[in-house]
Amino acid sequence: MSRGWRIEYEGALYHLLSRGNEGSDIFIDNEAYLLQLSYYIHRNPLRGGIVKRPAGYRWSSYKVYAYDRKTPKWLSTNLILSQFEGEQDRHKNYLAKVQKYAQEEKRLLEDLRYGFIVGTSQFAEKIRKK
């Protein structure tokens, strides 16, 4: 499974580039949308029929986010899990959100097919000009 490249864009929280899928770049300007993308990515092996549940995919970071397993040195979970700050169990809440997200997933799949920009209209215009 290939990994996207990380490319910095001023004002972008994160930019994902899907190798080999021209036009499917994803530009994110909002942490709530970044959470949705995290849920989507963690459900990829399930959607692809590789496993029966997200925790079953050996190469996924899902268990770190959802079950507080040991975090590899290369993985930074702060940006995602900080969205659950102040909640009693951030990992349990992440798990619940991933499960809830499964119900909304079909709509997002259509958006991801062609690439999209998520954020304010000013942010979107800045990205389009590049």
Taking only the tens place, the pLDDT of each residue in 81-99 is 988 887 789 999 999 989 8
Each domain of the chain, given as residue ranges in start order, spans 5-129
Two tokens at 30?
A: 């909002």
Rounded to an integer, what distance in angstroms lies between the CA atom of residue 27 and that of residue 101?
Answer: 20
Residue 77 has pLDDT above 60, yes or no: yes
Mean pLDDT across 100-110: 66
Q: How far apart are CA 12 and CA 6, in angstroms?
A: 11
Cβ atoms 41, 69 nearer than 8 A: no
CA distances from 48 to 3, 6, 7, 44, 124 (A): 16, 23, 26, 6, 30
Query: 110-127 pLDDT, tens per residue?
Result: 555 555 666 677 877 777
Cα-flanking dihedrals φ and ψ of residue 10, to 5°?
-55, 130
- Residue 1's pLDDT band, with cuts at 50, 70 and 90, is very low
Better pLDDT: 34 or 65: 65
pLDDT on residue 61:
93
What DSSP designation does 53 have?
S
What average pLDDT does the segment 9-13 reach? Answer: 50
Give the pLDDT score at 44: 86
